Structure 1
Amino acid sequence: MATKALFNSVVNWYIRQRIDQINNFKEHPLETQKGVLFSQLFFAKDTEYGKKYGFKDISSYNDFKNQVPIVTYEDFEPYIEKARQGQKDIFWPGHIKRFAKSSGTTNAKSKFIPISDESLENCHLKAGKDMVAIYANNHPENELFTHKNLRLGGSAEMYQDFNTKFGDLSAIIIENLPFWVEITTTPSKKISLMSEWETKLKAIVNEVTKEQVGSFTGVPSWMMVLLQQILKETGKESISQLWPHLEVFFHGGISFKPYREEYKKLIGKDIRYYEIFNASEGFFAIQDVYKSEEMLLMLDYGIFYEFIPMDEFGKENPKTIHLEDVEINKNYALLITTNGGLWRYLIGDTIKFTCLNPFRIKISGRTKHYINAFGEELMIDNVESALTKSCEATNSRILDFTGAPVFMKDGKSGAHEYIIEFIEKPKDLQKFTAVFDAELKSSNSDYEAKRYNNMTLSEPIIHVAKPKLFYEWMAERGKLGGQNKVPRLSNDREYLEPLLKKNIS
């Protein structure tokens, strides 16, 4: 009892301290971000990258954006390769020992994202503690530390290469968790680091069903696969029968909207849901208000944020702004400078600000995952909201989907074409399609204009996928596991065509 009391007092002290710090950056956001930028520049001024772009001469944000180029992974890769081969002081002081291997959702080629000691400790691990601190502060009656957290990371095996390590971000984090986190989570480190997904899934089910679980952390789609397997193996009607003390799911990676109703049925009772926004490159935002659809942009993780308005995106020299000049409900491509050594790095996510005091955001999509074949600028958030309304109207439920344009041909209008795997199919697919189309028109004026009299765009085409289509397709591509995502939209037919062919084979 004395040990538990001491543990709780330490936890409560940390929560109070950290909430005070979060409130401070909420009250002083611009000063906090300025401090982040100039501390990074000072820290890295003597690196190869810092010397090349004159970090020591930068004294303002305008200097920074005029002197330092915007880069994609492909632009920055030569520097990363030097660091991976053991060279030090390339873009961050010292020797980068860890790299998070990530293929993302568009490139088959692996990316190796640098994870410095500073980014590991002051961003990724700090964010994990903040997630719990924010939740516990919002819900003082919580029992998080009485029961275990079920974590579901990617298939995670660490590899040694050039005297540096690389592997999934989840592997890097799990290997470096403090002991007290390890004893409060399940499955064990040994099982969490298994690389083959099907074998790992069986091992997870075998272990976690013997534990008392109070919270989940993971990607909704893959967590659902695990929970469905748990119900199958245990014979329980709902997850709450197995874990009656389950209270919260911390989820990220993909939108939760298409999965919300299915989770209610799977779990069998109401629990809380908190969204997070993270990637191999950094941890960016945490939902800080219960039952909100927005997340607090975390400003003191060693990440300096810039934003490219989407009407500027793709230009040779796009306009960039920082927090001082952002507007509500405008789509921005996210540009980051991190304590992992990424400088003005285009991460590929698009966001909208929902609040400017404090700065809260929603993820609106990906810079490569949208449909704009006809000037309609259709983003993922438009589609997911419309699908949610369509499901509500037809008592249906969705597991996975992807969409792409049908290009104009032989004088015919274009269209958008989707393949959707349903958990529960709509009895009237035409009604589902009509509601979906109407909601897209309501939420996106560009789409509505292109749909006028079917002149540019005809009604969406929707195909019903056979069971496990997406799972089998992801398996064929070597992308099973908690950190892999089904690409939702594409401006070409790269993903849709193989899925359509597989659906009839």
Structure 2
Amino acid sequence: MGLKSMLSKPFAAFAVWRINRWKNNAVNAQQNILESLIREAKHTAFGKDHRFNTINNYNDFKLHVPVRDYEGLKPYVDRVVAGEADVLWKGKPLYFAKTSGTTSGVKYIPLSKESMPEHIKAARNAILTYINETGKTDFVNGKMIFLQGSPVLSVKNGINVGRLSGIVAHHVPAYLQKNRLPSYETNIIEDWEQKVDAIVEETVHQNMTLISGIPPWVQMYFDKLSEKTGGKKIAEIFKNFSLFIYGGVNFEPYRAKIEQSIGRKIDSIETYPASEGFIAYQDSQKDKGLLLLADAGIFYEFIPADEYHNENPTRLSLGEVELNTNYALILNTNAGLWGYSIGDTVKFVSKNPYKIVVTGRIKHFISAFGEHVIGEEVEHALLTVANEEKVEITEFTVAPQVNPNEGTLPYHEWFIEFSAAPNDLAAFSKKVDLALQKKNIYYFDLIEGNILQPLIIRTLQKDAFVNYMKSEGKLGGQNKVPRLSNDRKLADGLEKYII
């Protein structure tokens, strides 16, 4: 056992002791966070405009601070981007995390000197809780890879700007620097395919023990490694690879293929990081719920998803949530995001402690005919049948077809890239459709009432989604394929890849 392995166990035990102090008092921790945020931002432009000096409790807060998305906060963000201080949060941000917006183009998410350490602490604690629970420490002596965006930062009015993963690369603790790959020279390669090729060359002969990244891009790395080594499984290439850390998308659609690529079962940790804050991570190998970080500089609010588009939706604090209800997640952060709708939906699977699963995106649904089918429902329907039929999915997305050929009913069109296709596509499609009907009563009614015909699956060529994302300039990094669309933009782009 190396020195790092020896030291990691007491370090992990201490970290878990500190986590348990707020984990078992999460509602009180949230109350303290709200009071702290209001106090610290009272003299900002936003605080003055929203009468923070009169806010004494959560009900006051809801009266003065409306729920907004990025577009709603943009007038304030624009002032921060222009270099003005004390707008959303005291002083100026340390960084802007640059992300792609659907309506606003580029989004600039502020990261403050108070919020930045929370990103690093959460990532570290996810690993330390794993060590404390399992006692496994050998991986800390090997090489670790974090597939991420370029760490090269630009400067906008005196503030560094970059992708979140690239910014985080500048804050990797010193005790991990020697273990960390890829090299800086490889990490700054902008073209994702060239970058992955370079990472393969740099890592193929290393003792890789921990691999982390967004599942579809990790799969690309695995595919290239296998190709480089004449078809070897990842477990053959990296004999000591023992921990996979992932986030950004639901892992389940990718699980079968990634596990097949690895060649054996290994432990994994799911995380829920976002540019707006590190929200949750899996703190136990015994269940899949993610521990909501109630003491990380974020005050959370929850809106029942079916009320989200109402004029005055119900807003709940942590102590008011119920299990197994779909909520739109709202953030108030120590970087100056207020009543901020991040766009994700979550569901609580435990309240002691508070644990969530991410169920989808509030804007990613299909309701072209009033069915309001959500991501969790399509994933459940597809994966349940795929597991029964020993079918493997590389990637998929669903869109409505509201203008079918004359004389036929509208339908949901599923675009699927299979790594192991069904023997009978028609029978497979029928089973998936019936599974979706069981999950969504409105969809069932539309099928039964002959408003919709059953779903139709389009089988796509190998690498269809990779090639599509490349054509859109969104290959790699933090970019993800949306599971559901209420329009035809993505569907139309994929039509040329249909087999």
CA deviations on 1:310-353 (whole Å, 9 max, x unpaired) are 12111222221111211111111100001111011000000111
Q: Distance in 2 between matches of 1:199 and 1:252?
A: 23
Report the RMSD for the aligned CA atoms in angstroms: 1.9
> Which of the numbers 294, 297, 301 marks the counterpart of 2:289?
294
- For the pair 1:30 / 2:27, whether they are aligned, the reply is yes
CA contact (8 A) 1:389 1:435 kept: no
> Which of the numbers 465, 470, 476 marks the counterpart of 1:475?
470
> Which of the numbers 41, 49, 54 marks the counterpart of 2:51?
54
Residue of structure 2 in register with 1:455 after alignment: 450
Amino acid at match of 1:26: K
Q: Distance in 2 between matches of 1:255 and 1:316?
A: 30
- Cα distance, 1:234 vs structure 2: 2.2
Residue of structure 2 in register with 1:44 after alignment: 41
CA deviations on 1:145-172 (whole Å, 9 max, x unpaired) are 1212221113453111211111110111
Residue of structure 1 in register with 2:218 after alignment: 223
> Which of the numbers 432, 453, 457 marks the counterpart of 1:436?
432
Seen in structure 2, the aligned counterparts of structure 1 residues 236 and 418 have a Cα distance that, compared at 3 Å, is closer
Q: Distance in 1 between matches of 2:104 and 2:81?
A: 20
Query: How do residues 242-321 of structure 1 correspond to structure 2 at under 5 angstroms?
Result: 242-321=237-316
CA deviations on 1:346-390 (whole Å, 9 max, x unpaired) are 000001111111111111110111112223221111111221122
> Which of the numbers 417, 424, 427 marks the counterpart of 2:420?
424
CA contact (8 A) 1:182 1:188 kept: no
SS of structure 2 residue aligned to 1:277: strand
Q: Distance in 1 between matches of 2:6 and 2:82?
A: 45
Amino acid at match of 2:355: R
- Cα distance, 1:411 vs structure 2: 8.1
Residue of structure 2 in register with 1:368 after alignment: 363
Amino acid at match of 1:178: P
Q: Distance in 2 between matches of 1:291 and 1:29?
A: 21
- For the pair 1:113 / 2:109, whether they are aligned, the reply is yes
Residue of structure 2 in register with 1:499 after alignment: 494
Q: Distance in 1 between matches of 2:18 and 2:161?
A: 32
Q: Distance in 2 between matches of 1:474 and 1:484?
A: 9
Q: Distance in 2 between matches of 1:382 and 1:293?
A: 18
Seen in structure 2, the aligned counterparts of structure 1 residues 329 and 408 have a Cα distance that, compared at 3 Å, is farther
Seen in structure 2, the aligned counterparts of structure 1 residues 194 and 109 have a Cα distance that, compared at 3 Å, is same
Amino acid at match of 1:279: A
SS of structure 2 residue aligned to 1:144: helix
Residue of structure 1 in register with 2:9 after alignment: 12
SS of structure 2 residue aligned to 1:117: coil
Amino acid at match of 2:497: N
Unaligned runs of 5+ in 1: none
- TM-score, with structure 2 as normaliser: 0.95
SS of structure 2 residue aligned to 1:421: strand
- Cα distance, 1:249 vs structure 2: 0.8
- Cα distance, 1:29 vs structure 2: 1.2
- For the pair 1:128 / 2:117, whether they are aligned, the reply is no
- For the pair 1:140 / 2:146, whether they are aligned, the reply is no
Seen in structure 2, the aligned counterparts of structure 1 residues 180 and 194 have a Cα distance that, compared at 3 Å, is farther
> Which of the numbers 347, 350, 353 marks the counterpart of 1:355?
350
CA contact (8 A) 2:151 2:166 kept: yes
Unaligned runs of 5+ in 2: none
Q: Distance in 2 between matches of 1:385 and 1:155?
A: 34
- Cα distance, 1:144 vs structure 2: 2.2
Q: Distance in 2 between matches of 1:185 and 1:436?
A: 42
Amino acid at match of 1:93: K
Q: Distance in 1 between matches of 2:451 and 2:121?
A: 49
CA contact (8 A) 1:251 1:274 kept: yes
- Cα distance, 1:30 vs structure 2: 0.8
Residue of structure 2 in register with 1:445 after alignment: 441
CA deviations on 1:281-305 (whole Å, 9 max, x unpaired) are 1111111221523211111111110
Q: Distance in 1 between matches of 2:104 and 2:388?
A: 37
Residue of structure 2 in register with 1:78 after alignment: 75
Q: Distance in 1 between matches of 2:76 and 2:283?
A: 36
Seen in structure 2, the aligned counterparts of structure 1 residues 493 and 155 have a Cα distance that, compared at 3 Å, is farther
SS of structure 1 residue aligned to 2:197: helix
Q: Distance in 1 between matches of 2:421 and 2:308?
A: 38
Residue of structure 2 in register with 1:338 after alignment: 333
Seen in structure 2, the aligned counterparts of structure 1 residues 406 and 260 have a Cα distance that, compared at 3 Å, is same
SS of structure 1 residue aligned to 2:32: helix
Seen in structure 2, the aligned counterparts of structure 1 residues 16 and 126 have a Cα distance that, compared at 3 Å, is same
For this pair of structures, how many residues does the alignment match?
Answer: 498
- Cα distance, 1:272 vs structure 2: 1.1
Amino acid at match of 1:186: L
> Which of the numbers 18, 21, 25 marks the counterpart of 1:21?
18
Q: Which runs of 4+ in 1 moved over 6 A?
A: 408-411
SS of structure 2 residue aligned to 1:432: helix
Over the matched positions of the two proteins, sequence identity in percent amounts to 37
- Cα distance, 1:213 vs structure 2: 0.9
> Which of the numbers 183, 206, 215 marks the counterpart of 1:188?
183
> Which of the numbers 322, 327, 331 marks the counterpart of 1:327?
322
SS of structure 2 residue aligned to 1:118: coil
Q: Distance in 2 between matches of 1:442 and 1:322?
A: 31
CA contact (8 A) 1:85 1:164 kept: no
- Cα distance, 1:428 vs structure 2: 0.7
SS of structure 2 residue aligned to 1:487: coil
CA deviations on 1:14-49 (whole Å, 9 max, x unpaired) are 322221122222211110000111101111111111
CA contact (8 A) 2:459 2:498 kept: no
SS of structure 1 residue aligned to 2:366: coil
Amino acid at match of 2:215: P
- For the pair 1:158 / 2:150, whether they are aligned, the reply is no
Q: Distance in 2 between matches of 1:504 and 1:15?
A: 49
CA deviations on 1:201-225 (whole Å, 9 max, x unpaired) are 1211111113211111111100000
Q: Distance in 1 between matches of 2:131 and 2:491?
A: 42
CA contact (8 A) 1:303 1:336 kept: yes
Amino acid at match of 2:485: S
Seen in structure 2, the aligned counterparts of structure 1 residues 169 and 461 have a Cα distance that, compared at 3 Å, is same
CA contact (8 A) 2:153 2:162 kept: yes
CA deviations on 1:67-119 (whole Å, 9 max, x unpaired) are 01211111111221221222211111112131011115x45711111011111
Q: Distance in 2 between matches of 1:311 and 1:411?
A: 34
> Which of the numbers 94, 98, 119 marks the counterpart of 1:101?
98
SS of structure 2 residue aligned to 1:398: strand
Q: Distance in 2 between matches of 1:329 and 1:276?
A: 20
